[in-house]
Structure 1
Amino acid sequence: MALNYTTNQREKYTQLSATEREDIMTGLAAGKSLRQTASAINRSASSISREIMRNSDRRSGEYRASLVHSKYQKRTSAASSRERIADEGDRQYIEEKMIEGWSPEQIAGRRNLETGEQVFSHETVYQYIYRNRRDLAKYLVRAKKKRKKRGSAPQKHAPRIKNKTSIQERPESVNSRAEHGHWEADTMVSRRSKASLCVLSERKYKLTLMRKIDSKTAQNMKDRVVILLKPFPEDLRKTITFDNGTENALHEQINKELGTQSYFCNPYHSWEKGSVENAIGLIRQYLPKITDLNQIDEEEILEIEYALNNIPRKCLKYLTPIEAYMAGVALDG
């Protein structure tokens, strides 16, 4: 099916010791990658990622081991006195999914789908967090920079790419997300290295594919897009929508190798490929801009890809992208 995750991405979250938290803080200060830090204390990179996301300071983003462990001890001692959702399984489910990056709406929608009944609403999750588990509140909203008003980009010439087809000529069947096989492509850059991520998002199923490229060149981008999409049947790779970055200059070669049709957004209209923009926003939860992507290996990238493809989406009726993709392929096959 063109998707093959070989690593053990899902593992139960276990508490860290004070010494391990000190080692994490030391590793972060030294600029080590999550995988290097995890290896040093014999933990998984996903456990370290969850620890940092959960316990870093909300304002400064700083991770301080002594304060973190003190906060954990206070949470533990106070837990028995707090009012909670009645079922212990529901409480654990909410905490685990919040740490994994799910929203209250996704948590409630998915829990209800799995049980076949209305277990709790997303409003109940919000109330539980604010009344009983304020430590989970930092997961509620992904921080975003203030956006410029649309159309307010500096007036300069967009890079010239030959033989582009405008997004305005894209068929309605693509625009409406009525059929599968239509992708959006973009790159996610790092402040600390020339390495980038090539990111692809399928418009109907919200499937995300991502791989590292050493530098943002047209040849590297072309090679990665082809490698990512080639394993899919032709029916699942029909079109690709790009922006006007020069890394997309070899779109005609991509089309030739994949049998796709390429479309290009209007200059400085990145919102016209909203699926991949949203995917990159989710990836930033795991790999913020200060991350040195040179230090991130393929296994860690696959773990993040796996996580994104297993978060339920409201637009998919709380199926995950993987589930929607598999069901869609089976239905059409």
Structure 2
Amino acid sequence: WTVLKVLQEHWSLDVCHGYALDNHLFPLKEIICVKTLYNYVDFMLLRLRNIDLPLKVRRRRTACSIKKNLKHMGRSIDERDSNVDERNEFGHWEIDTVIGSKSKSDNVVLTLVERITRKYIALKITSKTSFAVNEGIAYLKEYYGTKFSQVFKTITSDNGSEFAELSQIENDASTKIYFAHPYSSWERGSNERHNGLLRRFIRKGKRMDNYSCEDIMFIADWCNSLPRKILGYKTPDELFDFELDKIYAS
């Protein structure tokens, strides 16, 4: 079961272990710990190799440093309410773009992650420009209609030029826009983590316009249906739908 989940659905060993425990799939005495599962892979006792575990072969320890804020795109993340930092309230998002090739003629994926539920939105847009980003946001505003500002209470961005006009959202919505410090990707860690999941399917250097909107949607759906340890092995879709039900019922 574990081998199939890793190879076919790209689950991690930790997710397999936690999901099996939470859903009582096997007798407790038959479920081995995560560390033992990784040892089995290292000793080639499972039909898995380390290359089948993308995070294991990619993860590296890196030092964090805080650099001086050289750009001032808008309201600083320093002004953001502590509820956002502590993930105490639904509706606070991180935003980013993911490129394929370095060609300016290539499409781009606009991504957003909600900080509590880890809901991942991935939209294919025409280019890495502020105009294309705002088109993507306009689609979301139309989709959620009058509830947009309740679903998107805040959005936190980096200082990329494609987000230069992002604050225009505040002109006709109560959504607040914040900007992280330059070179401080850990301040949008949830988004960075999910973009890493996207890279499992679309490697760097591959043209994004080779992938359809349906392809991008499939990847986002996979991310949102993946049980997470941090969510008590619930899925982002489950928790996000629960929050939406509360908003639309009010």
Q: Normalising TM by the smaller chain, what interval? A: 0.7 to 0.9
Contact 1:243/1:267 (<8 A) preserved: yes
| 1:123 equivalent in alignment to 2:32 | no
| 1:253 equivalent in alignment to 2:162 | no
* Structure 2 unaligned regions, length at least 5: none
Contact 2:69/2:181 (<8 A) preserved: no
Cα distance in structure 2, aligned partners of 1:259 and 1:230: 15
Counterpart among 133, 137, 144 of residue 225 in structure 1 = 137
Paired AA for residue 132 in structure 1: L
Cα distance in structure 1, aligned partners of 2:113 and 2:214: 19
Counterpart among 95, 104, 114 of residue 185 in structure 1 = 95
Q: Could you say what the CA RMSD is over the residues aligned between the two structures, in angstroms?
A: 2.5
Q: Corresponding residue for 1:103?
A: 12
Paired AA for residue 283 in structure 1: L
Cα distance in structure 2, aligned partners of 1:126 and 1:227: 43
Cα distance in structure 1, aligned partners of 2:64 and 2:2: 36
Question: In terms of Rg, which structure is larger?
Answer: 1
Q: Which has the higher contact order (CA 8 A, sep 6+)?
A: 2
Contact 1:193/1:293 (<8 A) preserved: no
Cα distance in structure 2, aligned partners of 1:331 and 1:105: 31
Cα distance in structure 2, aligned partners of 1:281 and 1:329: 26
* Structure 1 unaligned regions, length at least 5: 1-92
Cα distance in structure 1, aligned partners of 2:61 and 2:36: 31
Cα distance in structure 1, aligned partners of 2:223 and 2:207: 21
Counterpart among 207, 225, 236 of residue 321 in structure 1 = 236
Equivalent residue pairs, number: 237
| 1:277 equivalent in alignment to 2:189 | no
Contact 1:95/1:136 (<8 A) preserved: no
| 1:236 equivalent in alignment to 2:151 | yes
Quote the offset at 1:140 in angstroms: 2.3
Contact 1:183/1:239 (<8 A) preserved: yes
Query: Relative to 1, partners in 2 of residues 1:270 and 1:250: Cα closer, same or farther, differing over 3 Å?
Result: same
Contact 2:66/2:184 (<8 A) preserved: no
Contact 1:196/1:216 (<8 A) preserved: yes
SS in structure 2 of the partner of residue 301 of structure 1: helix
Cα distance in structure 2, aligned partners of 1:328 and 1:96: 32
Q: Percent identity?
A: 31
Cα distance in structure 1, aligned partners of 2:131 and 2:150: 25
Quote the offset at 1:171 in angstroms: 0.5
Q: Corresponding residue for 2:124?
A: 212
TM-score (norm 1): 0.65
SS in structure 2 of the partner of residue 132 of structure 1: coil
Q: Corresponding residue for 2:79?
A: 169
Quote the offset at 1:331 in angstroms: 5.8
Quote the offset at 1:152 in angstroms: 7.4
Quote the offset at 1:258 in angstroms: 4.1
TM-score (norm 2): 0.84
Contact 2:91/2:150 (<8 A) preserved: yes
Q: Corresponding residue for 2:50?
A: 137
1:192-232 deviation digits (Å, cap 9, x = unpaired) = 53321101000000010011122111011111123235433
Query: Relative to 1, partners in 2 of residues 1:147 and 1:222: Cα closer, same or farther, differing over 3 Å?
Result: farther
Contact 2:109/2:125 (<8 A) preserved: yes
